[in-house]
Structures are given as C-alpha cells and as structure tokens.
Amino acid sequence: MNIEQVQQQLRVFAQERDWEQFHTPKNLASALAVETSELLEVFQWLTDSQSIAIKGDVARMRKVEEEIADVTLYLLRLADVLSLDLQKAVDRKLRINAEKYPVEKARGNAKKYNEL
C-alpha cells in the first residue's frame, strides 16, 4: 500500500464533499474508535477457534475486510490531518517494542513488558 497515495485520495474525497470541516483530530479519532468497535463486533462472543474459522466464511470475511478498511482509512486520514509521518512513527514504535520485549524474555509468553 502506498500510504501517501491513499492519503491523497482521502484528501480529495473529503475536499470534494466539503468534509474537511468535520475532519478534526477529535472527530477522526472518534470515528476510528467506532470503526474499531465495529470490527470487534464481528468477533464478539466467538471462541478463539471460531474466530480463526472466520477465514473460511466468505460473508463474515467480507465484513472483516470492510471494517479493517474503514479502520485503516480513518487512521490514515487522522495521521494526514496531524501531518504525522506514519512510516517514521511505526519504525520508532517497533524499536521501542523491541527494547521492551527482548526475544530472550518475551518469546512464547504474553506477559506485558513490566512483568518480564
């Protein structure tokens, strides 16, 4: 995915509809939270094995795909409105996580970094 290209498409989409006035960081973060909740709703009440089995259900996978796309689009739009370089942010966060979760301590468990 070309992040800058998608952000440009989203910018144009918002401009054509005069939606920039609504695309404040607060509103975009709120919309992102709503869309994340809609993604979570697909998996609500399923067991772990049932949630994995969704991959074989075309209709449910379509819903998951749409919700993941919505989450991605709102996240990209929010980053764009805030002039945040996502690649730099991701690279930085991966370095931080590698320090918090060294392989020799974190491998094979789900403990939080302060419990390792």
Q: What is the pLDDT of residues 63-90, one digit of tens each?
A: 999 999 999 999 999 999 999 999 999 9
Averaged pLDDT for residues 98-114: 93
Averaged pLDDT for residues 91-103: 97
Q: Rounded to an integer, what distance in angstroms lies between the CA atom of residue 5 and that of residue 45?
A: 37
Task: Look up the pTM and report it.
Answer: 0.91
Residues 71 and 100 in one domain: no
Q: How many CA atoms lie within 13 A of 113 on its CB side?
A: 8
Residues 7, 78: contact at Cβ < 8 Å? Answer: no
Instruction: Quickly state the pLDDT bin for 57 (edges 50, 70, 90).
Output: very high
Instruction: Quickly state the pLDDT bin for 20 (edges 50, 70, 90).
Output: very high
Residues 103 and 56 in one domain: no
Residues 10 and 29 in one domain: yes
How many domains is the chain partitioned into structurally? 2
Residues 68 and 91 in one domain: no
DSSP letters along 12-24, please?
A: HHHHHTT-GGG--
Q: The dihedral of CA 19, 1, 91, 63: what is its sign?
A: positive
Q: Rounded to an integer, what distance in angstroms lies between the CA atom of residue 75 and that of residue 7?
A: 10
Residues 51 and 78 in one domain: yes
Domain that holds residue 95: 85-116
